[in-house]
Amino acid sequence: MKPHRIRVCHLSSLHVAKDTRIFYKFCRSLVSQYEVTLIAVHDREEVVDGVRIIPFRRLKNRVWEMLTASLRMFPKALGTKADIFHFHDPELIPCGLWLRLLGRKVIFDVHEHFAADIYDKPWIRRKKLLAGIYAFWEKRAARRFELILAEHSYAPHYAAMGARYTIVLNYPDEPFFRQFRNLNLRPAAHLFYIGILLETRGLFQIAEALYILKKQGRIFYFHCVGALYSGLSQKLESLSFYREIKDQIKFYGRLDLPEGYRLSMNMGIGLCIIRRMKNSEWSYPTKMFEYMSVGLPVITSDFELYRNVVERNHCGLCVNPEDPAQLASQILLLADHPELRAEMAKNGVHAVESYFSWKSQETKLLALYGRLTKG
């Protein structure tokens, strides 16, 4: 009779099943040692790379989603009969507490500094009230879970609560991205972005930079992989210059990670223009490391945290995220110097292999699970 494999269940009411952090890093890293189930937003039940995926329906009404997520998730979670539960959304704190009451081991994966992040979300109203409510519950729940933090900058906040935490950074799975690596000379006129498309992701500034360059007689194309936030297309259409550059922007919608990075193999520059927000300056953008991993020179925001990666490793350029003219000039600089792009591409790959690979974080993840299974 085979010994019982410890069952692990990851829970997310907001993220799609093939989320970069949840599926491609955490679940795929754990599946060699544990029986792994993932309950997340998906269209069907299936097994992918050894991970059993159970679909969860995300509601269109955000308020109703937030209020009912734990109630709808709890019976699904119990049905997996897992030994360890690992949840990824603040809406699921009640579900996590109920599981703890039943004696289950529970991990809360803090992807963002949620209390601060509330102020950065354009769809949230009465931000101060909601941030206060969340902080109230977070303080009471933090000591009841094992916490995983996605950034060093969150640590003082949770240390002040006396919480137990492990920092697991969002570094790329370098062997996975190796298949999309292209160190040949790429077409510089094609700019690449992957991720959620929000106003705070510099979309308007990038559009204006395209317009500035077009007036100079230089045509560049911006390829966007990701879900376009509702209402953003109308805002883009309302820009006075948008008709002039509309055909230079292509929206692909959300694609699975392999599909998105397959497209990147024919792009020349990766853009990661994140505007200044409460949460953005002290949180690494995952896409920055992914661009480096596939050999894309990076143009990103001029924040100290980002500069310490990009400029120190000479793998890209940093710009004021509110200055389209500066962005246009830096795009032009890279486009007109292919030898510089080639050098930055190689440097980015070397930096990921040497300092920013998921392997170092996977070790910390497996060590935490090892402690939980022995405790």
**96 occurs within a structural domain:** yes
Residue 124: pLDDT band by 50, 70, 90 thresholds? low
**pLDDT 10s digits, 176-229:** 999 999 998 889 999 999 998 888 889 999 999 999 999 999 999 999 999 887
DSSP for 90-137, please give it.
GGGHHHHHHHHHTT-EEEEEE-S-HHHHGGG-TT--SHHHHHHHHHHH
When the pLDDT of each residue in the chain is averaged and rounded to a whole number, the result is 91
**For residue 141, what are the contacts with CB-CB under 8 A and spacing of at least 6?**
93, 96, 97, 108
- Based on the domain organization, do 198 and 54 belong to the same domain? no
Expressed as residue numbers, the domain containing 297 is 175-354
Give pLDDT tens digits for 304-322.
999 999 999 999 999 999 9
Judge if 363 and 340 occupy the same domain.
no
**Is 133 in the same domain as 151?**
yes
Instruction: Say if residue 132 is in the same domain as residue 184.
Output: no
> Torsion angle of alpha carbons 73, 76, 82, 83, nearest 10°?
40
The phi, psi pair for 233, rounded to 5°, reads -60, -40
315 and 186 co-located in one domain: yes
What size, in residues, is the chain?
375
* Residue 101 within a domain: yes
Assess whether 15 and 162 both reside in one domain.
Answer: yes
Is 366 part of any domain? yes
On whether residue 56 sits in a domain, the answer given is: yes
Phi/psi at 113 (5° precision): -80, 90
Distance CA 306, CA 365 (A): 24
Q: What is the identity of the amino acid at 362?
A: E
pLDDT tens figures, 127-186: 677 777 777 878 878 889 999 999 998 899 899 988 999 999 999 999 999 999 999 888
- Residue 374 has a pLDDT of 85
- Look at residue 321 and tell me if it is in a domain: yes
Q: Dihedral sign, CA of 153, 111, 8, 25?
A: negative
The domain tally of the chain equals 2
Out of 116-125, 198-207, 263-272, least confident range: 116-125
pLDDT tier at 1 (50, 70, 90 boundaries)? Answer: very low
In the numeric block, the tokens 């990075």 are attached to 261
Asked whether residue 130 falls in the same domain as residue 264, the answer is no
Query: Are 286 and 368 part of one and the same domain?
Result: no
Q: Is the pLDDT of residue 121 over 70?
A: no
Decide if 129 is inside a domain: yes
Domain annotation covers residue 2: no
| Distance from C-alpha of 327 to C-alpha of 205, rounded to nearest angstrom | 8
Q: How far is the C-alpha of 301 from the C-alpha of 306, rounded, in Å? A: 7
Query: What's the angle, vertex CA 24, arms to CA 341 and CA 34, rounded to 5?
Result: 150
Indicate if 331 and 221 belong to the same structural domain. Answer: yes
Whether 201 and 163 map to the same domain: the answer is: no
Amino acid at 106: V
Task: Check whether residue 332 and residue 347 sit in a common domain.
Answer: yes
Nearest to 220 by CA among 195, 242, 187: 187
Q: Are 317 and 337 in contact (CB under 8 A)?
A: no
pLDDT in tens, 50-94: 999 999 998 888 778 888 999 999 999 999 999 999 999 999 999
What pLDDT does 159 receive? 92
CATH assignment of the domain containing 289: 3.40.50.2000
Q: Is residue 153 part of a domain?
A: yes
pTM > 0.85: yes or no: yes
For residues 282 and 157, membership in a common domain is answered with no
